[in-house]
Structure 1
Amino acid sequence: MMRALILGASGGIGGAVAARLRDGGGHVTGLSRSADGLDLTEAATLQDHATRLAGQEFDLIFNATGALMIGEDRPEKSFEAARADAMARQFALNATGVALAIRYFAPLLAGDRRAVFASLSARVGSIGDNRLGGWFGYRAAKAAQNQIIRCGAIEWRRRNARSIFVALHPGTVTTPLTARYADRYPTISPARSAEALLSVIDGLTPQDSGGFYDWKGQRIEW
C-alpha cells in the first residue's frame, strides 16, 4: 500500500492529489497551514510535525505549497517594481521553504525501496524557457527551488539508490493562485492535474531523479 505525505493538503492541487491517492487505496497523511499550522517559512513548524511523524516511512512526499502572490505583493511587470522585501518573501516560501521541507521530511522517505520527493515548481521558473521577462521574483524563486531539488536528488542517491527527487509543473490549474491570470491561458482542473502528475511520478525511474517535468511528462529545460 502506498504511503504518502502531502504538504499543502488543503490547497487545490494538494487536496486533489490526496483524494486521488486515497481513492486508489493509499494511506495519506496530509499537512497544511490552515489545518495543522504547517508553514514552510517557519522552520519550527516543520520540525514539530516531522518529530511527530518520526518512525513512519513514506513512499511519496508531495510538496504542493507555494504562492505567486504573497500578501499584497503582485508579480512584477518591470524592474521598476523590484522590492527587496517582496523578493525575500518569494524566496522564503518557494525556495528556502522547500529546502527546509527536504531537511525535515525527506528523512521520512523509505530507505530500502523506491521513494519519491516531488515538489510543485512552475514552468516560469525555467531560465531557458523565459521569453517574456517580468515576474522575476517568482521566476527566480522557482528556479532556485529547481536547483534545491537537484541537490536533494544527488544527496539522497547516496542514501538510497532508488530514491527520486523531482520538480513538477502542474499546468495552469484553476485554483486561487491562478485566479487573476487563468483567463489568459488554457486551464485544467485540480483533479486533472493531480491525475496527470501522479501518472508522471509513477513513470519516473531513479535515472530521472533531479529532473524538471511538466504534467504531461515532458522534460522542461532549466
Structure 2
Amino acid sequence: MRALVLGASGGIGQALSARLTADGVRVTGLSRSGDGLDLTQADTVAHHAGRLQGQDFDLILNAIGALVIDGHQPEKSMDAVDPDAMAAQFALNATGVALAIRHFAPLLARDRRSVFGSLSARVGSIGDNGLGGWVGYRAAKAAQNQIIRTAAIEYRRRNRHAILVALHPGTVETPLTARYTARYPTITPDRSAEALLAVIATLTPKDSGSFHDWKGQRVPW
C-alpha cells in the first residue's frame, strides 16, 4: 500500500505519516517547509504532482490548512471582516484544495479502492453553525466541502474506485488551535490520526463526496 501525505510536517500530517509507516504503508510526504509545496502557488502544486507521475497511491491525504494567516485572527463579528484576510483563507483552505485535487487526485490507483481525503472542519458546516463568528475560515471550509463534493461527482466517471471525502479531525492539540482550545475538549494529533485512518478504512465508493468527523459520524453540509 502506498500513501501520499500533503502537509507532512504539520502536527496532524506528521501523526498520519507516522501511523501509516508503523502499519507498513510506504509513505511519501510533502510540505511547504520541507519541499516547497504551497497550495496557494499553482506552479508548486503542478511541479510536485509531476514529479510523482507514474506512481499510483491507495491513499492521498491533504493535511494542509490554516486558521490564522498573516496574523489575521478569526473574526468575532461581521464588523471584523477584512477582504484581504478572507481572500487568504480562500486561497489556502478552498482554492488550494481544488488545486490539490486537480493535480494529485489523478495519481489515485485506478484498479483498486483508493481514497483522497482532505482535512476540513466542523465549523465549515452550514447546517451545524449555531454560534456564528469566524466568517472567513467557516466560509473557506464550506467552500472546500463543496469543491470535494463536486470533484467526487466527476471522479465517479473518471475513476470508479476512487473515494473523495472531507474529514473533520477533531479539535486537535496543534499550534493552529493553541489559542482556542481552552473551552473545547481536545485530542492529540496521534489520536486524531488513529481515528481518521479508522474512518477511512470503512469507506466505500458510495461514500465518495461525503463529510465525516473523526468519530465516523457524518457531518451536515
Bucket of the pairwise TM-score, normalised by the shorter protein: over 0.9
User: Which runs of structure 2 are paired with 1:211-222 in the superposition (5 Å)?
Assistant: 211-222=210-221
Distance 2:98 2:15 in 1: 24
1:192 aligned partner = 191
Partners of 1:47 and 1:24 in 2: CA distance: 29
CA deviations over 1:84-118 (Å, ceiling 9, x no partner): 10000000000000000011111111111101000
Alpha-carbon distance, 1:125 to partner: 0.2
- CA root-mean-square deviation: 0.5
Query: Which residue type is aligned with residue 162 of structure 1?
Result: H
SS in structure 2 at match of 1:184: coil
Quote how far apart the aligned CAs of 1:73 are: 0.4
SS of the residue corresponding to residue 177 of structure 1 reads coil
Structure 1: distance between partners of 2:47 and 2:163:
25
**Residue 122 of structure 1 pairs with residue 121 of structure 2:** yes
Q: After superposition, where does 1:6-155 map in structure 2 within 5 Å?
A: 6-155=5-154
Q: C-alpha distance in 2, partners of 1:14/1:181?
A: 20
Per the alignment, in what secondary structure is the counterpart of residue 57 of structure 1? coil
In the aligned structure 2, how far is the partner of 1:183 from the partner of 1:132? 17
CA distance in 2, matches of 1:189, 1:3: 25
Instruction: Read off the aligned partner of 2:39 and give its amino acid letter.
Output: L
Q: Could you tell me which residue of structure 2 aligns to residue 156 of structure 1?
A: 155
SS in 2 for 1:5: strand
Task: Give the 3-state SS of the residue equivalent to 2:176 in structure 1.
Answer: helix
What stretches of structure 1 move > 2 A for 4+ residues in a row? none
Gapped runs of 5+ residues in structure 1? none
Q: Mark the runs of 5 or more structure 2 residues left unpaired by the alignment.
A: none
Deviation digits for residues 17-56 of structure 1 (CA, Å, limit 9, x no counterpart): 0000000000000000000000000001011101111100
What SS does the corresponding residue of 1:193 show, helix, strand or coil?
Answer: helix
Letter in 1 for 2:168: H
Amino acid at match of 2:69: I
Residue of structure 2 in register with 1:178 after alignment: 177
1:163-182 deviations in whole A, cap 9, x for unaligned?
Answer: 10000000000000000001
Number of residues paired by the alignment?
221
Give the Cα–Cα distance (whole angstroms) in 2 for the partners of residues 89 and 125 of structure 1.
Answer: 16
**Which amino acid in structure 1 is aligned with residue 57 of structure 2?**
F
Identity of aligned residues (%): 74
Q: State the 1:72 CA deviation.
A: 1.0
Deviations for 1:135-159, whole angstroms, at most 9, x for unmatched residues?
Answer: 0100000000000000111111112
- State the distance in 1 between where 2:219 and 2:126 align: 10
